[in-house]
Amino acid sequence: MNQNDYATFEKLFGHKPHHIYFSPGRVNLIGEHTDYSGGYVFPMALSLGIFGLVRKRKDNVIRVYSTDFSNLGVLEIDIETLAYKPGFSFGNYVQGVLYILKTAGYNLNYGFDLYMHATLPTSAGLSSSAALEMLLFEIINDTNGFNLGPLDKVKLAKRVENEYMDVASGIMDQYAVQFGKKDHALFLNTHTLKLDYAPVDFNKMTLFLMNTNKRRNLEESDYNERFNAVKTGTEILQKYHDFTVLGELDLAVFKPLMNHLNPQLKKRLRHVVSENARTKQAFDALQNNDLMAFGKFMTASHMSLRDDFEVSCEELDFLVEANLELGALGARMTGAGFGGTMIAIYEKDHVPASFETLKKAYQKKFDKPLDIYTAKSADGAKKIKGVA
Ligand code: GLA
């Protein structure tokens, strides 16, 4: 945020902002498509995120502006009619947050003017929507004195996705965005919500984020289809074995059971059960500073997402192979898949001098640019400081 942002705020809203907030994106290191069946995830909050300049209002009007959607101008939210509006873009998330708060008994007394500037790419598998949701929860909680605790906010934000946006997603994204801690990744059991912070040492390794810029068409329906497959498969296995969530099953128990599943469900659940095992092992490897082993689990995760869960795509597979050839210790897709971002870790001393050749090859093959970022960690969503 710089003087330009402050000046634009004043121009758009006619007064100065009072506070500045930051909400990070997240990268999931490993543990993919495991968080809606009580499994393990291992995300990290990113220094890429959304900055928000805010001024509390005396009435309950809400006006929002995003530099990423400057063509839409200032969106005004009518708190009386919060039904999803096709074409209302990120305004639907604002409505969704207010709608869920309302259904939970929190009625807005004070509105706000909000100007957002994101350093995080949207629709890239780095949780720009969770970053937006948690930013809004922070702001609304503060301006209205709702006294919501961090976990309350996370659970309400998850409901925005599940009940308002109609995506059957798990708790990982909102949790990581809220509970992120600089220089740490979050090893989370999504069933019990037991959390272990694992130190991530960027003096020894470099983590790259490679955005495929592939638009994720039909992502919501594909995502919900995978959710339903895991649910159906779990219900079948529960007839033969006593367990509550798939995250409890280890491979030894799962293997004899999987013959009760049709070939497709077998693949889907095999991914989930093996991914939980890899995530636990990867957590141990990172604790022991065994980057080589950590990288191997990452790559194995990608293969399983590609072959068993079938949520990868040509662009992601190409980048995984290319990075392994360049000497990465491990590489995989991150997030929901079907496009989005690929991540690769390199030993600090073995980072390629340049990715220019890879960028050119990618552009030539897929007719799209490849955007590369070096991942840095950050704390979770919070008010940074007053500005007035
Ligand atoms: C999306 C969802 C998460 C999680 C990942 C896949 O990011 O929002 O809850 O399921 O996909 O691991």
Same domain, 257 and 340: yes
Same domain, 339 and 292: yes
Distance 336 CA to ligand 1 centre (A): 5
What CATH code is carried by the domain that includes residue 348? 3.30.70.890
Residues 86 and 79: beta-carbon distance below 8 Å: no
Same domain, 259 and 289: yes
Same domain, 193 and 216: no
Same domain, 145 and 244: no
Nearest-angstrom CA–CA distance, 177 and 197: 14
336 lines ligand 1 (CB under 6 A): yes
- Ligand 1: nearest atom to the Cα of 170: 9
Q: Work out whether the CA dihedral 179, 180, 183, 185 comes out positive or negative.
A: positive
Same domain, 189 and 229: no
- Torsion angle (degrees, nearest 10) of CA 251, 257, 262, 265: -40
367 Cβ neighbours under 8 A, 6+ residues apart: none
33 lines ligand 1 (CB under 6 A): yes
Would you say residue 99 has pLDDT above 70? yes
Same domain, 67 and 91: yes
Q: For 252-291, how does the pLDDT look when each residue is reduced to its tens digit (9 = 90+)?
A: 999 999 999 999 999 999 999 999 999 999 999 999 999 9
170 lines ligand 1 (CB under 6 A): yes
Nearest-angstrom CA–CA distance, 296 and 275: 13
pLDDT band at 229 (very low <50, low <70, confident <90, very high): very high
* Overall domain count for the chain: 2
- Ligand 1: nearest atom to the Cα of 167: 8
Mean pLDDT, rounded, for 296-323: 98
- pTM, rounded to two decimals: 0.97
Q: Which residues form the catalytic set?
A: 173
Residue 80's domain spans which residues? 3-198+379-387
335 lines ligand 1 (CB under 6 A): yes
What CATH code is carried by the domain that includes residue 48? 3.30.230.10
The helix/strand/coil state of 368 is coil
Distance 14 CA to ligand 1 centre (A): 39
Same domain, 69 and 170: yes
Give the per-residue pLDDT at 80. Answer: 92
Give the per-residue pLDDT at 386. Answer: 62
Sheet with 195-199, edge to edge strand ranges? 40-41, 184-189, 195-199
Same domain, 237 and 287: yes
